[in-house]
Amino acid sequence: MRKFRLAGLGLGWLVILLGQGPLVAGQINAPGLNSLLVELWPEYDRAEVLVIYHAELSPTTPLPAELTFRLPAHIEAMHVVAVEQNGRLFQAPSESFSLQPEGEATLLTLSVPTARFQFEYYDPEILRRQATERRLNFQFLPPYEIKQATFQIQEPIGTTEFSSIPPAENSFIGQDGLNYSRFQATNLTPSEPITLAASYRRSTDALSAQHIAGVPVQNPTTSAAVVSPATAAPVDNSLTFGYILIGTGTLLFLAAAGSWWWSRRQPGGVGPDQLRQREGATFCYRCGTALRGQANFCHRCGAERRSER
């Protein structure tokens, strides 16, 4: 049994300095956050930690709003900055946000026209490795008053002996098949820092995204039922080959029938351009939802559209 208790966004190992008070403190209608979700995804599609912020402004915050978040000094670029309009996330224009070094921090300043927004960046320093052991440290200082804050950490594929301080309030398995730990806090103010730490072990450096995409991950520490060749029942190769032929023929027939049925439903059938469009990155890598047109983000979970590799 793993000791798995780090809540919410895996605030496991990140010891990041975020947010220090807003630059606009003192305004009569200073910004506030109704909710904030911070997700930490270590070793997901890079060896670094992907840090994701999902935020919603309080109803009393005037729009458009200019906000400032304090990020670690070593962050030099954003991966994604997006705003939500009519229930969908759209990439924010580059001129609407900026990164500016300030002492031992980097200030992210962004102008948002709507109450909901999201930004992501990769942090190469908050995850420490020593052999199979991983340690993540995260320190969060609210930039504004926050009514409801949730922190969530995603456990990489092949994780064992996961533990956190403080212990997670709850954990769950996401639609991607990975385990998440969650921690929540309410009514935060800029003077109330939150520190979270987590540790776990992995015997592989394979990225979680590879596993989700179907790439086998070798992990000797993962228990599995192994049948010894000496006790395994002999295999009738002729029968096996026959089953393969039958199965392959059935699949080919179903594929041909499906293609014919679909072409009958579409006026003029399906042309090469339409087929290529369907075969592209039309499904969200995170939740599997079919993506709309040329949208850059999933309208269901907000994940960035990934191009085919």
- Return phi, psi of residue 92, to 5°: -80, 140
21 pLDDT exceeds 80? no
Beta bridge partners of 151: 38, 183
Q: Which domain holds residue 196?
A: 17-212
Q: What is the mean pLDDT of the chain?
A: 75
181: which 2 tokens? 């730990």
Residue 21 lies in a domain: yes
Provide, rounded to the nearest whole percent, the portion of the chain with pLDDT above 70.
62
Is 236 a domain residue? no
CA distance linking residue 274 with residue 211, whole number of Å:
29
Asked which of 48-52, 217-221, 223-227, 229-233 is least confident by mean pLDDT, the reply is 223-227
Determine, yes or no, domain membership for 109.
yes
Indicate whether 228 belongs to any domain: no
| Residue 199's pLDDT band (cuts 50, 70, 90) | very high
CATH at 177: 2.60.40.1730
Residue 132 covered by a domain: yes
Residues 50-73, mean pLDDT to the nearest whole number: 96
Q: Is residue 182 part of a domain?
A: yes
Q: What per-residue confidence (pLDDT) applies to 139? A: 85
- Any idea which residue has 């030099």 for tokens? 76
Counted domains in the chain: 1
Q: What is the rounded CA–CA span in Å between residue 80 and residue 77? A: 9
> Does a structural domain hold residue 169?
yes
More confident residue, 247 or 22: 247
Per the domain annotation, does 254 fall within a domain? no
